[in-house]
Amino acid sequence: MNFDLSSEQIMLRDSANRYVKECGASPKSTDAEVSLIQDFAKLGWLGLSLPEKCGGVGGSAIDVMVLCEELGRGLLLEPYLSVLLAGELLLASEVDAKAAQGGVVSSLLANIVSGNTSIATALYEADSRFELARQSCVAQVCEQGYTLNGTKSFVLNGAQADQLLISARTQGQFNDASGISLFLLDRKTPGLALDPYYSFDGLPMATLSLSNVVLRKEACLVSNTALPIMEAAIEKVIIALSAQALGAMETLLYSSIEYCQLRQQFGKKITQFQAVQHRFVDMYMACEEVRSLLYAAAIKQVESAPDAKLITAMLKVKVGEAGRFLGEQSVQLHGAMGFTEDLLVGRLYKRLLAIDTLFGNADYHLKRVIKLS
């Protein structure tokens, strides 16, 4: 099988690599976030996975993988994962929505691609344990349309977004697969409260509290059948997230090699000691194992293969395990310097630990592997 990138993908990789090197690590500020959104829009990255009819590029999961691997090499507080997830959900809801709603979705997608509108998704809750079917946020039918009550947690980019996609239960019990709907609402909607914070790796997140939030019927984009749409969107985002993890892992590997070439013990560079060389080999092999599964998952996604979910779950398990291993080895090889803010090592390690917990950690996806095998 040919794993070579196309000329367009090589150009995308090179431009993303240059951007990351020039931009560097972002500070924890809303202004930096907005600046990145505008930059991504100008570069065409916000519409990379979206069709041309809404201003996108029509790229595949492989194109997204190429971009995200380069983004993962830096510590940008980038909004891309949030945009990617929202775009996939909106595309699927456009098919499911009525004609009037479909027009709203198309217009919103065009604004997202241009950077004029930012959007975040609120799918998980504190008690969900990564299970999308566990929805205690409830939407009840009322005279105006729907009344929403509940709390959504771990919302990437939640406080910075203009629009929010929120899942809520309209039928059934807490863990039922059916009866989950998807709603679109403005961040200034009465009854919606946002509690912003930063995750331990620096990404902006928020907790959303909904208290008697009244929405029109048109705000419901998908009624009672949103769970399969949400699951399919998460599968695609996991590939992008894993590509970011691979970029971070390789940065840790090669920065550790570079640093160790400067350190000396007993009159020799420590890279000349066999024990250190063996560590680098193990770190390199861990990166390559992730890369192999990443390529396989992306190709399976493009081909809509029957075992695509299994490979994606295996990939997320390996990302969690390899990320922790690379981080621990890199910090130890750097010694006390690995804990300082002057180096990216400790911060990249925190990013990899955060990536493990996003959209299901290694333990959760290992159970999925067993179930799907």
What is the CB-side half-sphere exposure of residue 221 using CA atoms within 13 A?
A: 27
Question: pTM of the entire structure?
Answer: 0.93
Longest C-alpha distance within the chain, in Å?
81
Considering the chain, what is the average pLDDT of its residues?
90
The domains of the chain, with CATH numbers, are: 7-114 (1.10.540.10), 119-224 (2.40.110.10), 228-372 (1.20.140.10)
Beta bridge partners of 150: 210
Residue 147 near residue 214, CB atoms below 8 Å: yes
pLDDT, one tens digit per residue, over 112-170 is 999 899 999 999 999 888 999 999 999 999 998 999 999 999 999 888 899 999 999 99
Residue 217 is classified by DSSP as: G
Contacts of 363 (CB under 8 A, 6+ apart): none
CA 240, 245, 250: angle at the middle one, nearest 5?
130
* E strand spans, the chain: 119-122, 138-141, 145-156, 163-169, 180-186, 192-198, 204-216, 220-222, 264-265, 268-269
Residue 293 near residue 318, CB atoms below 8 Å: yes
What's residue 234's pLDDT? 96
CA distance 203 to 199: 5
Distance of CA 361 to the CA centre of its chain: 13
DSSP 90-105: HHHHHHHS-HHHHHHH
pLDDT(99) > 50: no
What's residue 310's pLDDT? 97
pLDDT, one tens digit per residue, over 338-353 is 878 778 899 999 999 9
CA distance 325 to 109: 39
The two beta strands, 204-216 and 180-186, are unpaired
What's residue 341's pLDDT? 75
pLDDT(267) > 90: no
Categorize the per-residue pLDDT at 324 as very low, low, confident or very high, splitting at 50, 70 and 90.
very high
CA distance 112 to 134: 29
pLDDT, one tens digit per residue, over 188-224 is 999 999 999 988 888 889 999 999 999 999 899 999 9
pLDDT(1) > 70: no
Tokens of 346: 């400790």
What's residue 124's pLDDT? 94
Map tokens 């830096």 to a residue: 74
Tokens of 97: 């929505």
Burial class (CB in 10 A: 0-12, 13-18, 19+), 6: exposed
Burial class (CB in 10 A: 0-12, 13-18, 19+), 223: buried
